[in-house]
Structure 1
C-alpha cells in the first residue's frame, strides 16, 4: 500500500499537468464548439449550428482539400525517402553514418522560424536562388513569384515540409535497420535470396513498428501544418495554401469566432483519429 501511494505521489505532478493543460482544454474545445462564443459578450448556445455553418463554408472545404493534398504527398514521400536514405547510410562506417544522421536531423532541431526565413529568401521572386539558377541555366524564361502564384504556392509549402520532416524518420529507420536480426539476413543470402528479397521478407517485417510510428507522427504533423503558412503565405494566394490549422487560427484569433474555430478543431481531431486508427489496423495486419 505504501509503495502504491508513493507511486501515485510521483505521478501526481504529471497528472495535474495532464488534466489542466490537456484534458480540460480538450473538454472546453468540444464544449465551446456548441456555442457562438466570442469576445465582449456571453456565449450563446447554438447546438450544431457551428457544424452546419462549417460544412456550408467553401473556404473550409478548400482548406480541407489543401490539407489532404499535403498529407497524401508528404507522408508517403517522407517515409519512402527516409527509408532509402537510412538504407544507404546504415551501410557506411559508423563515423559517416553518425555524420549523415546529424546533417539530416539539423532542420528538426533548428528553429522553424529560422528555417522558414531561409526558404522565403530562396523563393524570393527577385533575388531568390531558385529564380537565379533557373534563369541562368535556361530552365526559366523569367522569374517566378513562387509563393505569390496559386499554381506553385502549395507545392512550395510541401517541399519545405518534406525537408523539415525527414530528419527524425531517417534516424529512426537507421536504428531499426541496426536492430534487424543479422543472422536471418545472412541465412537468407546463403539460401540464394537477393538483397531486395532479404529486405522485403526479413528486414521490412521487423521494421513495421517503426514504420507505423513514423506514419502516424508524420500524418499528424502534416495535418497540423501551420507555421509555414503563417510565416510565408497567410493562406494565400486565393486560399491556395489555406490549411485547416491556419483556418482555425484565422477564425479563432483574427475574427474572434472561438466556437466556430473549436468546431473545426473537433472535426480535425476526428479526421486525425480515424486515419491513425486505420494506420494502426493496417500495421497490425502486416
Structure 2
C-alpha cells in the first residue's frame, strides 16, 4: 500500500475478513464479477479458501484509480446488503469505515472525502497532446495547473483561470504566427477573433471540406462567443481578476465546470488545428491584416 491508495489496507482487511465469515465462494465471485473485476492468477498467503479468493480479486485492483476504488466500494456495499449481518455487525462496519474517513449513508452507499477529491482531480481537463507543436507552451500549462488546483473547491479562481487559459492559448498561437499585439492591453475578444481568423476557424472564413460546412460554421460561431461569456462572467464578479462589491452569492462548482469546459473546448480546437499538417490554414492564402489590437480588458 502507498499513500496514494484510495482505500487503505485496514479497510480492505476488514471487508476481506467479513466476506470470509458471511459469504460463499460463489457469492464472492458474483459480487466482484458483477462490478467488472476478474480473478487474478497470482497466489497469495491468505488463510482460508474464501479469504484467499477475495484477495485474488483485490490483486487486480488499481488502488490509486478513483474508478476502480468506486467499484470496490460497490462490492463492499453489496456485501453489507446481503442481509446476513446483524445490527451490531452493521454498526461495527460503519465504525470501521469511519475510523478511516469513510462514511456509510443510510441508503447503504459508501464514500470518502479522499475518493471524492480524487474523482474531481480526475475530471479536470488535461492539456491536449497537440500542445507539443508549440515552441513555448508554458503560459498554457500554467493556466491548466491553476485550473487543476482551483476546480475542486474554488470556483471563482477556476473561472478566472479559464479566461486566462483562452487568453494564453490565443497569445501563444498568435506569437507562433507572427501576429503583433500589445501584450499588456489587448482585449480577449480581439485575441479570440484574430486567432480563429488566422487558423481559418472563424465562421466567416472560407475553407474546403467540413471546415467550410454550414454545420461547422454554426459550431464555430458558438465558440466565438466563449470569450465574451468568460469575460462577462469574470467582470460580473464571479471570477478572480475583478473583485466583487460583496460576496459571490450562488456561485457553485457547476458554474466553474461550465467555464472551464468551454475554455478547454476552445483551447483544444485551436491547438489541434494549429498542429494539424492538413489544416486549411496551412495552404490557404494569408489572412488579411487585422486591425491593430485595441486596448482594454
Superposition TM-score, scaled by structure 1 size: 0.19
Bigger helix fraction: 1
CA radius of gyration, larger in: 2
Task: With a CA cutoff of 8 Å and minimum separation of 6, indicate the structure with the bigger relative contact order.
Answer: 1
